[in-house]
Every structure is written in structure tokens, then in C-alpha cells.
Amino acid sequence: MEVGDDIGTIWKKDLPLEEYDRYLAKVKPGIEAYTDRIFEFNLRNQRVLGSTFPLSKISLLKGQYEFMVYLRHHGFPTPLLDWSRSLYVALFFACSGQDHQDDSALYMYVEHLGFGKGGMAGSPEIATLDQYVTAHKRHFIQQSAYTACIGKSNDDWCFLQHESAMGGLIDRQDKLEKFVIPASLRRSFLRQLDAMNINSFSLFGTEESLVQMLAFREIND
């Protein structure tokens, strides 16, 4: 079971895997130049051993997953959907950053109900990716986990939107539950989470997040 605050923060369209690989290759030099980091991902790399997507028997390129996780945590569009294994961390993200008066939502994803997963190769498939990955420290602080969805579209293997695979096999797999959080309760929840040391600073560890935490404590009523 994974929990998240927004299922709409990923790539918005179906995209062939090879086309997305080329996007990654284009942005990699600039990121490496700025960060002085070297990422293993390369278009010439082999596919990783085993199958990232077991039913489809498709794998990512070596180093691709780690690079995508880095990009996901720094705002670059990826097909990864970012979840947390912690209900409280997910609740923080659902309640924070909301300047409007509308209700928020918390989502819970259940990959299967104990019967394993099934389906036809080429049909939309969601895979939960390995949580143990070389990544930014935020990945571990936020107890992050990731899912991605692939399938065939016009004979090309593509990253697909998760909704295309939801509720398969008579609702025994890829279940998504939505919990509405009334806007009137958000601030109360955030104060309780802050008392548990779950706040912007503990989850991001930057100067900006420190200022956000202090502003919430001292200014917001």
C-alpha cells in the first residue's frame, strides 16, 4: 500500500519509451555540469537484468531509474508517480501549499489484494519500482516509493497514464482509493503533523523550507 497527495503531477500524455529516453539524454549534460555529479544513465546502456514491468517483460536502461528519481524530486516531468510509505508524510503534502479554499485529497494505491497480478502483455501495466535506489536524500526522508505505467500504443511501448490500468481483473489489482480532506481541517492537521516533526523543513531540509516552517508556526493562525 502506498499513499500520495496528487495523481496528476506526472507526465500528462502517452509517450514512447525511446522518445522519453532521448529527453533524458538531452537534459543530462546540463544537470551534470551544474551539480558535478555523474549519472550512469546513457542511451547506449543495456537494459537492466530482470523485468521492471514483469507482465510486459520490459526493463529500463541501466541507470535510468536512478536518474528519473533524481529528476522527479527536482521538478522535471517524469512518468513516475511519487508516493510515500508514510500516511503522515502523504497527509502533509496533501494539506500543505494550499492557498485556495477548496478541499484536498489523499490517495491510497493498493497494487493487489494478495492474489498476485495478471493481465495481457501490451495492455496497461502498473509496476511498483524498487524503493532502494541511489537517490537524493529527500527520497529516504520522505519514505518515497514510485510507480510507473506502460503499455502498447500504436505498436510502440509507451509510458501511459496510470488511470488506464486502474481497477483491473474485477477490481482485484491496481486499486485507488480517494479520501477528501475538508479545507477547514487542513491547518489543524498541519499543526498536529508539525508536533510530530513532519513539516516542510524536516522533509526538504533547505533554507526555503526552514522559512516556510517558521512562517507557518509564527504567522498563520
Kindly indicate the confidence band of residue 100, based on its pLDDT and cuts at 50, 70 and 90: low
Q: Around Cβ 64, how many Cβ atoms within 10 Å?
A: 23
Write out pLDDT tens, residues 197-220: 999 999 999 999 999 999 999 986
- Judged against a pLDDT cut of 50, whether residue 23 lies above it is answered with yes
5 vs 153: CA distance, rounded Å: 28
Each residue of 168-188: pLDDT tens digit?
A: 556 778 888 899 999 999 999
Higher pLDDT, 12 or 43: 43
pLDDT at 6 over 70: no
Alpha carbons 87 and 196: distance in angstroms, whole number: 13
Mean of pLDDT over the chain:
88
For residue range 39-62, list pLDDT tens digits in order. Answer: 999 999 999 888 889 888 999 999
Query: Length of the chain, please?
Result: 221
How high is the pLDDT of residue 132?
87
Dihedral over alpha carbons 148, 105, 12, 77 (to 10 degrees): -70
Q: For the chain, what is the radius of gyration of the CA atoms? A: 19
The DSSP bridge partners found for residue 168 are 173
